[in-house]
Structure 1
Amino acid sequence: MVTLSQRINTLEALGAYLSNFDENNSEYKTFVEAIEKAHQENGWFKKEECRHAIASWGAALKKEKIQEWLTPYELKENQNPKTIALVLAGNLPMVGFHDLLAVWISGNNALVKCATKDKVLIPFLVNSNPILKSMTRFTEEKLEGFEAVIATGSNNAARYFDYYFAKYPSVIRKNRNGVAVLNGKETAAELKGLGRDMLQYFGLGCRNVSKLYLPKGYDLNQVFGGIYPLSKCIEVNKYANNYDYNKAVFLMSEFDFVENGFFMLKEDTALSSPIASAFYEYYDSPEQLKKQLEEQKDDIQCVVTNEAYANAVPFGHTQMPELWDYADGVDTIEFLKTL
């Protein structure tokens, strides 16, 4: 059995490996090849996006952060490890990695079904480490022989998961969106951070900002100024195709919107916007907006703002979550401790 101290040391070593990633270092040759393969299999996984995911996990898996993450749980040696089925999403590179971390650190074993769009990077890292490999099994077949499940997918997939895994202890995640609350006093640096929150990973993540809440009279050019440094996204064919398609839909539907040649802003009360766009809505008072967001909390992953809001995240940090930033606010370590 792998001890808790061995698991912690393994995650610390993994964090160092990811933090020191250097594509010109021969030590990382096979990792670079895995990144290239991931991009070949999924055109959204540009090398720059994969490198960002690697750097983000490297930053999260620092010794002091692992300690801060685990201290509240007072974990003991797991004398009765369970097999936890993990159904991973595939919208971002390594997007399901946190669920694996939780299963490993809790002393359980993982039965992993990767998304077809993201089945290279996580298996590469796991299979490169004997300890992690000993606690993990990947499958593309029907999931069998497990005692609990953590599954992530669309709202439609979640309904299927609820039915299919009804007899098992489970965490089932659905669609959520990031939102941003602006007050008009944001700095240029904060607006550039907002641009990254909107367009990192081409806006495909549940933590990406797809909805802006603005004070009345707000100048939308400030938003466009923040995202301008990311204008090269339009050079990526998959993004450009989505931009052209969604712009055509907006035009044919005679929607009012503004755009800058690679991104669109449309006034709309919905939270989830199409690729290459964001919705915005004006608010009258911060107090009323806080009440509105509280009513929508089950559809919101995080709130980007410099104000005091629940699940608030600083500008530019939505795609750099800490180990204690649990998806949908569901503490997977606590869930696993109950099994």
Structure 2
Amino acid sequence: MNIVLPLIEDLQDAALAQALQRRIDQKTKPLGSLGRLERLALRLGLILGSESPRLAQPQLLVCAADHGLAARGVSAFPSEVTWQMVENFLAGGAAVSVLARPHRQALSVVDCGVKHDFVAPGSPDGTRPGLLVRKVAPGTADCLEAAAMSAEQCALAIAQGQALVRGLPGNCVLLGEMGIGNTSAASMLMARLLGRDIAHCTGAGTGLAAEALERKTAILRAVLQRHAQAQAPLQALAAFGGFEIATLVGVVLQAASERRVLVVDGFITTAAVLVAQALAPHVAQRCVFAHRSGERGHAVMLDHLQAEPLLDMGLRLGEGSGAALAWPLLQSACLLLEQMASFASAGVSERAP
């Protein structure tokens, strides 16, 4: 599989980290009293390479695609919900649409492989506002019978994700996804890349009952056995899918190489980071993990990536909803660095030595 990996350097910078920490400690507050918000400010400063980090023009990408495995009943919802939800995003009625609006996050929906035609009737070029068509194919193959995608399709999806980021303004990208069946793909990627039993990686997804969850787990176990030879990260990605996850891998790689802040949503988007991190070991340094999902397995993924999620609210919707919800915390961390007075500037006495 031929993909071009961008250069992603180690962000470790002792001098900058020391300068940032000194600036945080000199603010008019007891040491460490803003808790994890201080660590978030430090992280953002290191990602953006500045003692005064500023977030500019946040881009929220919801990558959408269908999965052939969904026909086997691994989700509580039918596959047509994928395209119906894309229409809901475009109409502004989805949770992520509502959460993104007040914070001026530019929401783009990317058709990476939805089994539906979104061309706008009457439009000269068929385009629709808010929709980016980067369709690799109308859904992946049933991965119980064959690889979800070919090596060439996987490479194309990754390359398209990289190209998307190169065309975006701003210095931060929020990750979202939509695809009936994609918790199955993410669970199998986790199982293969982390060496975990699939039963510990598989959750209810869109709300499967206990018996249906058992059946889903058995199907995923059979898929893993079917593709036992797919051990390397890109082999596993091609074997299990999906086009939206592969596109997100490209998004993550390119954004990391450009030193943009990556705001990672939940289980599916973290699976994309897991693949990207396996390809380029400094990727996770650029990531802010929005929340710990209610989906089984997400906490294990986060622990593997040494991630400190900002929120823990039992969310398991996806779409980028958790990333949009956590965004004000990133803004607050930057504003405290920029606008909060120091002891010296405010004329406030410091703590006695």
TM-score range, shorter chain: under 0.3
| RCO comparison, higher one (Cα < 8 Å, 6+) | 2
Tell me the TM-score normalized by structure 2: 0.27
The structure whose residues are more often strand, as a share, is 1
